[in-house]
Structure 1
Amino acid sequence: MSQVEKIFMPSHPLEPGDRYGILSNFEPGIRTLPAGFQIAPPFRPIPVDIVLEKDVAVTLRDGVTIYVDVFRPAGSEKVPVIVAWSPYGKGQGTSSSVMGVFGLVGLDNSVVSGLEKFEGPDPAYWCAHGYAICNPDIRGVAHSEGDSVLWDRQEGRDCYDLIEWLAVQDWCSGKVAMSGTSYLAVSQWFTAAEQPPHLAAINPWEGVSDVYRDLVLRGGMPDTGFARQLRDYSFWGHSQKEDILAEADRFPLMNDLWENKIPHFENITVPAYVVASYSNTLHTAGTFRAWRRMASQEKWLRIHNTQEWPDYYDEANVEDLRRFFDHYLKGADNGWEQTPRVRYSVLDLEGGDRVNQPAREFPPEGVASTKYYLDARSRTLSPEVPSGEATADYDTQSLPGLVSFTARFDEETVMVGYPKARLWVEAKGADDMDLFVLIQKLDAYGTPLQQFTVPNQGGVVHDLTEHGASILRYKGADGRLRVSMRHLDETLSTDAVPVHSFDRIEKLAPGEVVDIEIDLLPIGLAFHPGEQLRFVVSGRSLLGPMMPGLREYTPANNGQHIIHTGGPYASYLQLPVKVG
Structure 2
Amino acid sequence: MVVKVTDKMKFSRSFDYVDNGIEHGVLSKFEPKEILLKKGTLIAEGFKPLDCDIKMLKDVPVKLRDGVTIYTDIYLPNNCKKVPTLIAWSPYGKSAGTAPRYKNLFNMLGMGNVWNSGLTKFEAPDPSYWCAHGYAVCNPDMRGIAHSEGNTTMVGSQEAQDGYDLIEWIASQEWSNSKTALTGTSYLAFSQWYIAAEQPPHLTCINPTEGLSDGYRDLAFIGGIPDKNFIERLQVNHVSAKGAKRENLVKEMDCYPLATAEVWKDKVADTSKITVPAFVIASYSNTLHTMGTFRSWRNLGSKEKWLRIHDKQEWPYYYDKDNVEELRRFFDYYLLDKDNGWNKTSQVCYSLIDFQGNNTNDISTGTFPPSETSNTKYFFNPLTRTLQDKAGETDIVLRYDTQSLPGKISFQKTFDKKTTFVGYPKVKLYMEVESYNDMDIFVWLQKLDKFGNVLSEFVVPNHGAALQDFTQNGASALRYKGAWGRLRASMRHLDVEHSTDEIPAYSFDRVEKLS
Q: Distance in 2 between matches of 1:372 and 1:204?
A: 35
Q: Shift in Å at residue 376 of structure 1?
A: 1.5
The one-character-per-residue Cα deviations of 1:188-223 (angstroms, maximum 9, x if unpaired) are 000100000000010000011111011110011111
What is the number of equivalent residue pairs in this alignment?
509
Q: Shift in Å at residue 2 of structure 1?
A: 9.7
| TM-score for the superposition, normalised by structure 2 | 0.97
Question: Do 2:90 and 2:188's aligned partners in 1 also have CA atoms closer than 8 Å?
Answer: yes
- The answer to whether structure 1 residue 85 and structure 2 residue 89 are counterparts is yes
One of 20, 30, 55 as aligned partner of 1:26? 30
- The answer to whether structure 1 residue 125 and structure 2 residue 129 are counterparts is yes
Q: Distance in 2 between matches of 1:303 and 1:49?
A: 35
Cross-structure match for 2:144: 140
Cross-structure match for 1:567: none
| TM-score for the superposition, normalised by structure 1 | 0.86
One of 156, 164, 169 as aligned partner of 1:160? 164
Q: Distance in 2 between matches of 1:498 and 1:4?
A: 33
Q: Which amino acid in 1 is paired with 2:448?
A: L
Q: Distance in 2 between matches of 1:393 and 1:66?
A: 57
Q: Shift in Å at residue 386 of structure 1?
A: 1.0
Q: Which amino acid in 1 is paired with 2:310?
A: H
Question: Do 1:4 and 1:257's aligned partners in 2 also have CA atoms closer than 8 Å?
Answer: no
Q: 1:241-390, aligned counterparts within 5 Å?
A: 241-254=246-259, 255-390=261-396
Q: Which amino acid in 2 is paired with 1:107?
A: M
Cross-structure match for 1:55: 59
Q: Which amino acid in 2 is paired with 1:185?
A: A
Q: Distance in 1 between matches of 2:402 and 2:380?
A: 20
Q: 1:543-558, aligned counterparts within 5 Å?
A: none
Cross-structure match for 2:501: 495
Unaligned runs of 5+ in 1: 510-580
Query: Which deviates the most, 426-435 or 77-86?
Result: 426-435
Cross-structure match for 1:438: 444
Q: Shift in Å at residue 232 of structure 1?
A: 2.6
Question: Do 1:276 and 1:303's aligned partners in 2 also have CA atoms closer than 8 Å?
Answer: yes
Q: In structure 2, the residue corresponding to 1:22 is in which secondary structure?
A: coil
Q: Distance in 1 between matches of 2:412 and 2:81?
A: 62
Unaligned runs of 5+ in 2: none
Runs of 4+ in 1 over 6 A off after TM superposition: 1-4
Question: Do 1:11 and 1:237's aligned partners in 2 also have CA atoms closer than 8 Å?
Answer: no
Cross-structure match for 2:202: 198
Q: Shift in Å at residue 16 of structure 1?
A: 5.3
Identity within the alignment, %: 51
Question: Do 2:280 and 2:307's aligned partners in 1 also have CA atoms closer than 8 Å?
Answer: yes
Q: Distance in 2 between matches of 1:54 and 1:45?
A: 19
Greater RCO (Cα-Cα under 8 Å, separation 6 or more): 1
Question: Do 1:266 and 1:295's aligned partners in 2 also have CA atoms closer than 8 Å?
Answer: yes
Cross-structure match for 2:216: 212
Q: In structure 1, the residue corresponding to 2:8 is in which secondary structure?
A: coil
Q: Distance in 1 between matches of 2:285 and 2:130?
A: 28
Q: Distance in 2 between matches of 1:376 and 1:252?
A: 36
Q: Which amino acid in 1 is paired with 2:126?
A: D
Question: Do 2:14 and 2:238's aligned partners in 1 also have CA atoms closer than 8 Å?
Answer: no
Q: Distance in 2 between matches of 1:269 and 1:160?
A: 15
Question: Do 2:147 and 2:240's aligned partners in 1 also have CA atoms closer than 8 Å?
Answer: no
Q: Shift in Å at residue 370 of structure 1?
A: 1.0
Q: In structure 2, the residue corresponding to 1:291 is in which secondary structure?
A: helix
Q: 1:171-182, aligned counterparts within 5 Å?
A: 171-182=175-186
Q: Distance in 2 between matches of 1:236 and 1:120?
A: 21
Query: Which deviates the most, 225-234 or 90-99?
Result: 225-234
Q: Distance in 2 between matches of 1:117 and 1:231?
A: 17
Query: Which deviates the most, 319-328 or 10-19?
Result: 10-19
Q: Which amino acid in 2 is paired with 1:14?
A: Y
Question: Do 2:498 and 2:505's aligned partners in 1 also have CA atoms closer than 8 Å?
Answer: yes
Q: Shift in Å at residue 47 of structure 1?
A: 1.6
Cross-structure match for 1:463: 469
Q: Distance in 2 between matches of 1:76 and 1:16?
A: 33
Q: In structure 2, the residue corresponding to 1:421 is in which secondary structure?
A: coil
The one-character-per-residue Cα deviations of 1:58-96 (angstroms, maximum 9, x if unpaired) are 000010000000000011110000000000011100011
Q: In structure 2, the residue corresponding to 1:266 is in which secondary structure?
A: helix
Q: Shift in Å at residue 233 of structure 1?
A: 3.4
Q: Distance in 2 between matches of 1:230 and 1:220?
A: 20
One of 445, 454, 474 as aligned partner of 2:460? 454
**Structure 1 residues 16 and 51 mapped into 2: Cα distance closer, same or farther (>3 Å)?**
closer
The one-character-per-residue Cα deviations of 1:250-305 (angstroms, maximum 9, x if unpaired) are 11111221110011211111100000110010111111111111111101000110
Q: Which amino acid in 2 is paired with 1:8?
A: F
Question: Do 2:8 and 2:262's aligned partners in 1 also have CA atoms closer than 8 Å?
Answer: no
Q: Distance in 1 between matches of 2:323 and 2:393?
A: 51
- The answer to whether structure 1 residue 13 and structure 2 residue 13 are counterparts is no
Question: Do 2:54 and 2:75's aligned partners in 1 also have CA atoms closer than 8 Å?
Answer: yes
One of 223, 228, 236 as aligned partner of 1:224? 228
Q: Shift in Å at residue 4 of structure 1?
A: 6.9
Q: In structure 2, the residue corresponding to 1:61 is in which secondary structure?
A: coil
The one-character-per-residue Cα deviations of 1:138-186 (angstroms, maximum 9, x if unpaired) are 0000000000001112111100000000011101101000110000001
Q: In structure 2, the residue corresponding to 1:348 is in which secondary structure?
A: coil
Q: Distance in 2 between matches of 1:235 and 1:217?
A: 25
